[in-house]
Amino acid sequence: MHSRLTGISPSEAVLQQMAQDIANGNPHDAAYRAMENDAFYNVTLKNIATPWTNRDRDVFAPLNDYTATVIGAVRDDLDFREILYGNLLYTGDSGLGLPGYNNSNNDHYEALEAAGFSLKDSLVRQSQSAVTGLPAEATAGVMTTRAGAKAFFIAGTNRAMFRFTMLNHLCRDMEQVQDSTRPPDRIRQDVSRSPGGDSRVFQNNCVGCHSGMDPMAQAFAYYDFVYDADNDPEGRNGRLDYNNVGETDPTTGTRVKAKNHINSANFPYGYIVPDDRWDNYWREGPNQHLGWSSSLPGGGNGAKSLGEELANSHAFAQCQVKKVFRQVCLRAPEDASDRARIDAITDDFSNSGYNLKQVYADAAVYCAGE
């Protein structure tokens, strides 16, 4: 159990304590005791979160503010849904002699990792708006961290942020949520209605993703990642940029970033993004089975409210459980017993404050002895 949760063997003293917990009929206490080890944070949590921070899903990417915020949220037993909408950011303790947090580089986190500090003890919770200067209403957890912006707001049309958030936090890529029955009225001008001169490709393929994705990705209309593409093509010194109230883009004449209007000649009669209003067309049709919350309106303005929509879905809760199960049990769910346990852990996770440590403990107890 200890090695599954931390990647290392326990000390003799911890081993004896865990054995006593199990003998007393308290295996969950044994799991929580294992999670007190620094390696649970420096290795286990870092390994599960790091692939979410880059398009290559590279587990060896450097520590960054996205990963640190996920680790800190788990350490502090926060409602895990907040990683998609909270005004929170975890940085290294100011007393550690690290370079300060910088909106334009990752030096702070790379120095924290290089120094070998325990992420259990060295991370400090702060409000994202206080550290980065982003307006509080524009913060959306890890989606508006610098690392998140560098990976998914860079260039393009910001659809990448939606796609990878779905992939990383609802465990669905676009192919798995295609629905050609949704109205195409919010699909932007850059999507050709006759790819290769054949309109059937649009009707039978493109519309399946874009009819649902484009209305929700509109939540990111005011965000961009600004960098020197000629001298810094990877954006190592780039920064998140947001058009606040009263700021306008010189190309669009509104708060909407120019990237949302690119390639307009592909289909001039397509949708022109006017603001950051988003709507979830997938609340009807086959994707209603993602389990959207009936307590939310299914639409709103900006990334924060979209993050709430995604994080309150059943798919979000189930996704976290499946990822932890694979990491702790070293396998995917295989049979009816596994699937039933996944459902039970998901219900416990949803009904008890979305505490991810509990998911780790439940998975470790279930797979103990394998």
Higher pLDDT, residue 204 or 306? 306
Write the single-letter amino acid at 282: W
Tens-digit pLDDT profile for residues 286-305: 999 999 999 999 999 999 99
Tens-digit pLDDT profile for residues 87-131: 999 999 999 999 999 999 999 999 999 999 999 999 999 999 999
Cβ distance 365 to 27 under 8 Å? yes
Number of Cα atoms under 13 Å in the Cβ half of residue 360: 27
Residues 6+ apart with CB under 8 A from 167: 173
How far is residue 341's CA from residue 320's CA, in Å, rounded to a whole number?
Answer: 14
Q: Is the per-residue pLDDT at 261 higher than 90?
A: yes
The percent of residues above 90 in pLDDT, for the chain, comes to 99
Tokens of 173: 């890529």
Q: Taking Cα atoms as reference points, which of 147, 208, 135, 221 lies closest to residue 175?
A: 208
Token look-up 């990111």 returns 220
SS3 156: coil
Helical segments of the chain, H only: 2-6, 12-23, 27-34, 38-39, 46-49, 65-75, 107-114, 119-122, 128-132, 146-152, 159-169, 199-201, 207-217, 302-311, 314-329, 336-351, 356-367
Tens-digit pLDDT profile for residues 310-353: 999 999 999 999 999 999 999 999 999 999 999 999 999 999 99
Residue 120's pLDDT is what? 98
Q: Is the per-residue pLDDT at 370 higher than 90?
A: no
Q: What's the CA dihedral at 321, 144, 48, 317 to 10 degrees?
A: 0
Beta bridge partners of 126: 89
Tokens of 260: 């949302």
Q: Taking Cα atoms as reference points, which of 289, 327, 264 lies closest to residue 52?
A: 327
Residues in the chain, how many? 370
Mean pLDDT of the chain: 97
Q: Domain boundaries in the chain?
A: 2-138+314-367, 176-305
The percent of residues above 70 in pLDDT, for the chain, comes to 100
Q: Is the per-residue pLDDT at 10 higher than 90?
A: yes
Q: Taking Cα atoms as reference points, which of 128, 19, 17 lies closest to residue 68?
A: 128
How far is residue 294's CA from residue 41's CA, in Å, rounded to a whole number?
Answer: 34
Q: Taking Cα atoms as reference points, which of 36, 31, 37, 5 lies closest to residue 18?
A: 31
pTM over 0.95: yes
Q: Taking Cα atoms as reference points, which of 96, 288, 264 lies closest to residue 192?
A: 264
SS3 90: strand
Tens-digit pLDDT profile for residues 210-254: 999 999 999 999 999 999 999 999 999 999 999 999 999 999 999
